[in-house]
Structure 1
Amino acid sequence: MRKRIAVIIPVSVFEPAETLRDCAEYLNNLDFGEMECRIVFSFDGDESDDRVRMLRKYGFLVLARNTRRGKRAGAINDALDHLVKFKPDFVAILDVDSRPERGVIPRCAEAVGDGIFIASARRRISNPVNSTTRAVEFEYRLIGYLLKHSGFRQFNGLIGVLDGSILFRHRLNEDALTEDADFSTRMHCLGLKAELVDGFFYEQSPLTWRDFFEQRKRWYYGGLELWKYLPDVLKSGNVGFITSWISALTLTFFPSLFIPFILLSLPSLLVYYGKDGFETFSGFIVYSLVLQAASISAIFNFLRNKGVEWKAVKRMEQLKS
């Protein structure tokens, strides 16, 4: 019997029609191997939105939620409710700017099971056009290396392929600001693991330092919320997981400590980027300072129980596949 895979793409009301059209065309040509596939766009808008009608013309199931309840987590959970009868063995979660390499989705599906709750691949930036995006591109390369050696593998956005039975059973926490890190923490506490396969998922980086600041402030705030799981993390008894989890929630909050290493990187950057080396170098300095500011701002908001607003991120019209 053919395995079934559902692809869920949560869609914010802020997403431009051109980005959604680009995403739909890419998905129509994506390789799912021998699996039976159903693609669902879970849209925060209502039935009257032209973007909903446009996506349906591509033959996809479009769930018009008419609410922002639970933000991204709510959109994914609502999509799961509509997929109960389909009974997918796997659920792939993608963002509108996700561009998985050909063959990556089937490889991820093959890796899931036997205690593996999610499989994903390394991330690459599809829009390295300025100092902001180049800094994030370098960061993603570093994260890809660290994930190979980490006892706590957290894939941003849960972009990848998940075990359908596990996701349907545990679902996403709609009260968590970073539902992906929340879910990953809970699954690791249960003794489940995440697998990294060969290949890449391309996605867009924030184009401006302002968007980058707002994104990372939200990520930092979500990280602070995770400390409530500390007793469960310690009870897991998995030293590798415990060490990696605590490190992720402490060391990352002090990025300015790494500025001396950035200063030493200038010769290498000039060799690698050529004439863009100085711009990239200055971008790394700004990157560290913006991250530090986002960390401090998130901590300040957390202590005041103020929360963090989920804001729109500017997209480029076209992505390279």
Structure 2
Amino acid sequence: MKLAIVVPVSPFEPVEILKQSALHLKSLDYRGMVIKLLYVVDLKEEGDERVKALRKLGVEVLERRTTRGKRAGAINDALKALKDFMPDYIAIFDVDSRPAKDFVVKCVKALENDAKAYIASSPRYISNPINLVSKTIEAEYHLINFLLRRSGFRQFNGLIGVLRAKYLFKYRLREGAVAEDADFATRMHARGLRAIFVGDTLTYEQSPLSWKDLFNQRKRWYYGGLQLWRYWKDVKRSRDSNFILSWFMALTFTYFVALLLPLMVFSPPLIIYRFRNVKKLVVVAGLVIHTVLLQYAAIQAMLSFARKRGVEWKAIERSL
């Protein structure tokens, strides 16, 4: 069995994060698979030190002297580079992804047991809960994991997980889509394929550390969600009522998140129950700020979409 691991790297990512990423991914359990670990680096300059550092760690690097298509373009270029290797599965990670040692093995097993599945992934957790912003998003991720277990439209942010290679090679990512992950997930679900939530493994990733970074990230996500309405007819044609309802709710209710503010009175006992730590109650204030910020991001995204202004992909500060 052949597995390719693809990690897109934007020009903003620091070399230390890349080195940590490569060492971690090389340490995972691949259970006898033939693997190719490929970093697709959008160069920030000629002689980019990040390329040298990655190659020194023994991983393959595809250099891009363009940011064409952003993350989607990087993954599509990786697919071209993988044509001769022809993997059965492709795992996609971000530079801050820290999957459990058994993540790949368990996701591949889940796919092997379900011929109609195009991706398998796991619960996601925050690896850097060091301030109010990241602690708040840590709490949000627990809610997201809860919803993913029950949703008919499982959209794993960033397509972080293990995918059947044949679907990526055939359908590729749409480089004009701001949220290329949600775009691909919508197209696959509309074709009657499934996304598997593997609950007995996990992966960690970093949260934005400032409200500004969070706003920019979520405005981009909201904008990308508005582009998905182009698939409404395809979604309806799927005749999968669970998928249709989940998809519709994701693209309507989440744009009016301020409606949840009155429910914040119930958050303290839920936070204590989840984290078993009274100090985590500070997150209640964070959730109020977070909800207001998301509503503002949604409004700004809708205005930008209506005016056809687009959104800018901005760097996010990393924890080193």
Same fold, TM-score > 0.5, yes or no: yes
State the Cα distance separating 1:26 from its structure 2 match: 1.0
Query: Is 1:284 matched up with 2:287?
Result: yes
Q: Which residue is equivalent to 1:100?
A: 99
> Which residue does the alignment assign to 1:29?
27
What is the match of residue 202 of structure 1?
204
Three-state SS of the structure 2 residue aligned to 1:229 is helix
Tell me whether 1:130 sits opposite 2:131 in the alignment.
yes
Identify which of 285, 292, 315 aligns with 1:312: 315
Aligned to 2:76: 77
| Secondary structure in structure 2 of the residue aligned to 1:313 | coil
- Gaps spanning 5+ residues in structure 2: where? none
**Mean CA deviation greater in 77-86 or 44-53:** 44-53
Cα RMSD of the aligned pairs, angstroms, is 1.3
CA distance in 2, matches of 1:315, 1:87: 33
* 1:223 counterpart residue number: 225
Deviation at 1:92, TM superposition (A): 0.1
**1:56-87: CA deviation from partner (whole Å, max 9, x where unpaired):** 11111100111000000000010110000001
Percent of paired sites with the same residue: 49
TM-score normalized by the length of structure 2: 0.96
Q: Answer whether contact 1:33 1:103 (CA < 8 A) is retained.
A: no
1:150 counterpart letter in structure 2: S
Q: TM-score, normalised by structure 1?
A: 0.95
Q: Is the 8 A contact 1:39 1:60 kept in 2?
A: yes
Name the counterpart of 2:236.
234
Moved more, 136-145 or 171-180: 136-145
Once the two structures are TM-superposed, the CA of residue 279 in structure 1 deviates from its matched residue by 2.0
Distance in 2 separating the partners of 1:185 and 1:268: 32
Secondary structure in structure 2 of the residue aligned to 1:228: helix
After TM superposition, give the deviation of residue 278 of structure 1 in Å.
4.1
Q: Contact (CA 8 Å) 1:47, 1:64: kept in 2 or not?
A: no
Q: Secondary structure at the match of 2:122?
A: strand
Counterpart of 1:167? 168
Deviation at 1:281, TM superposition (A): 1.0
Which segment is superposed worse, 70-79 or 145-154? 145-154
Alpha-carbon distance in structure 2 between the residues aligned to 1:131 and 1:273: 17
Contact 2:99–2:202 under 8 Å retained in 1: yes
Q: Which amino acid aligns with 1:121?
A: S
> Helix, strand or coil: the match of 1:265?
helix
Alignment-derived partner of residue 13 in structure 2:
15
How does 1:116-195 map onto structure 2 within 5 Å? 116-195=117-196
User: Structure 2 counterpart of 1:196, which letter?
Assistant: F
Instruction: Note the C-alpha offset of 1:35.
Output: 0.8
Aligned to 1:249: 251
Other-structure match for 1:90? 89
The alignment status of 1:4 with 2:2, answered yes or no, reads yes
Q: Which runs of 5+ in 1 are unaligned?
A: none
Q: Using the alignment, how far apart are the partners of 2:97 and 2:187 within structure 1? A: 24
Whichever residue aligns with residue 251 of structure 1, its letter is F
**What is the rounded CA distance, in whole Å, between the counterparts of 2:241 and 2:297 in structure 1?**
30
Q: Post-superposition shift, 1:266?
A: 2.5
Deviation of the 1:263 alpha carbon? 2.1
Measure the CA separation in 1 of the matches of 2:78 and 2:127. 27
Deviations 1:143-187 (A, max 9, x none): 111111111110000000000111111110001000000000000
Q: Show the counterpart of 2:37.
A: 39
- The SS at the match of 1:202 is strand
Taking the aligned partners of 2:253 and 2:270, their CA distance within structure 1 comes to 25
Deviates more, 1:245-254 or 1:274-283: 274-283
Contact 2:27–2:101 (CA under 8 A) maintained in structure 1: no
Q: Distance in 2 between matches of 1:61 and 1:83?
A: 11
2: distance between equivalents of 1:269 and 1:239? Answer: 33
Q: Tell me the CA shift for residue 88 of structure 1.
A: 0.2
Helix, strand or coil: the match of 1:91?
strand
Report the Cα distance in structure 2 between the residues aligned to 1:8 and 1:47, rounded to whole angstroms: 22
Give the letter aligned to residue 67 of structure 1: T
- For 1:102, give the aligned amino acid: K
- Alpha-carbon deviations, 1:275-321, whole Å to 9, x = none? 5344211101101011111000100100000000000000000xxxx
Q: In structure 2, do the counterparts of structure 1 residues 267 and 145 end up closer, same or farther at CA, with 3 Å as the change threshold? A: closer
